[in-house]
Amino acid sequence: MALKPVGGKYEGVWRNELKNGDISYYINYRNEVGKPVKVLVGKKTKSSDFTARDAYSKLIEIKYKLQHDQEPIIKGSRITKIKFNDIWNEFKKYAIANKKSYQMDIWNYEKHIEPVFGDRAVKSLTSLDFEDFKQSLLVKKLSAQTVKHQLTLARTIINYAIKHEIIKNFTNPLANGKVKMPEIDNQRQAFLTKEQAKKLLEILKALDMQTYHLTVLLLFTGARFSEVTGASSQKNKNDIEDGLKWNNINYKTKTIYFKKTKNGNARHIYINDILLETLRALEKNKKSDLVISTSTGGNILRMPAHFLTALESIIPENKQKDTQDKITAHSLRHAHASWLAMDGLDILQIKEQLGHKTLEMTLRYSHLMPNKRFEATQKLTSFFNFWVV
């Protein structure tokens, strides 16, 4: 096939003169990923007076529709438009190969992003689409942290596609703060009382032993979910930590060592009797070097459903409560710290126990500490009692 450019005012149009006298017209353009495309758009035959001008008109139509993210049709075939699912599939390959948290990304994408954007052409998406998406998730009573994670994941997928030229000439609608991330208030007010915690553990012990042991580890160490399991119960982290390993357990000193992470300081936690019982039980059935893991020895990615089932039995309608008043897996850490404060442990020791990086993070528990100021002020008078009339 000997294609020749028509030239002149019909730039982008090519012609091929056939032996039978017919002329085939092709147009040449770049698709939305910047790849050159040459496609047959018509023929001049004895029964058809198709001209270079007609071919050029088709080229202009295609360019216009591509720019406005429409789907032009050539001879009954749609020009391929890159959809969000297409760039997700490419990103997923990268995530599986490079991210420990790829399962979390898959879960979030399939649960929240795909139903809304999966079949949408990427270049059709605007910041307003993602603003509407954000509002729809908030209306569903999802936490601000969960909503933020969906927006962050969508932004990361698009950035990956742009970086690797899967899509070209496109500005990420989630870039540069075009969509304001929801404000996150991590200062939960609710925590389990000791009586509620006791009842919760009794229910879990009869319901599911793995969930029971995980709850014990969280409740009596005050550690973050990620520090114990290696993953985030809130589905809001891009990285999975190593998790608590058996070499972090020291039975001789009766301590658990939590190493320094990007979110917390290193520290040693005392192993009390209930923790010791749980550790011994887990050690008998260990599947890997993780203290607690899935049946195949992998990271537990989120709090088991049995935990929420047990919670509902002692705190009815817990799921419907506002974020600050809802009990979650993270509330176990909050309960641990609150109990220490109520038992009179000083703020610096609580900071060390939780691994907080700043004192400000610990001060939220100060209001629970017994207020001894009045008692101390009163004692000052004992030495000077001769002045009292």
pLDDT digits (tens, 9 = 90+) for 191-243: 889 999 999 999 999 999 999 999 999 999 999 998 999 875 444 444 445 78
- Domain 84-177: give its CATH code: 1.10.150.130
Instruction: For residue 299, give the nearest of 232, 209, 208 by alpha carbon.
Output: 232
Considering the segment(s) 194-368 as one domain, its CATH architecture is Orthogonal Bundle (1.10)
- In this model, does residue 177 exceed pLDDT 80? yes
Instruction: Give the per-residue pLDDT at 238.
Output: 40
Cα-Cα-Cα-Cα dihedral sign, residues 195, 197, 203, 209: negative
* CA torsion, ordered 256, 257, 260, 263, to nearest 10 deg: 0
Q: Give residue for tokens 């596609």.
A: 161
Higher pLDDT, residue 342 or 377: 342
Alpha helices (H) along the chain: 52-67, 84-98, 102-108, 114-117, 127-139, 144-163, 194-207, 209-221, 225-229, 273-284, 305-314, 330-342, 347-354, 359-362, 373-379
Percent of all residues in the chain with a pLDDT value above 70, rounded to a whole number: 86
Q: At what angle do helices 347-354 and 330-342 cross, to 10 degrees?
A: 160
Q: Check if the beta carbon of residue 173 is closer than 8 Å to that of residue 161.
A: no
pLDDT over 80 at 31, yes or no:
no
Q: What pLDDT was estimated at residue 240?
A: 47
pLDDT-derived band at 153, boundaries 50, 70, 90: very high
Is the CB of residue 282 less than 8 Å from the CB of residue 292? yes
Helix (H, G, I), strand (E, B) or coil at 40: strand
Decide yes or no: CATH 1.10.3470 for domain 4-78.
Answer: no
Instruction: Locate the domains of the chain by residue range.
Output: 4-78, 84-177, 194-368
Which among 40, 43, 48 has a CA at the least distance from the CA of 77? Answer: 40
Residue 301 has pLDDT above 70, yes or no: yes
| pTM of structure | 0.54
Residue 197: the pLDDT is 93
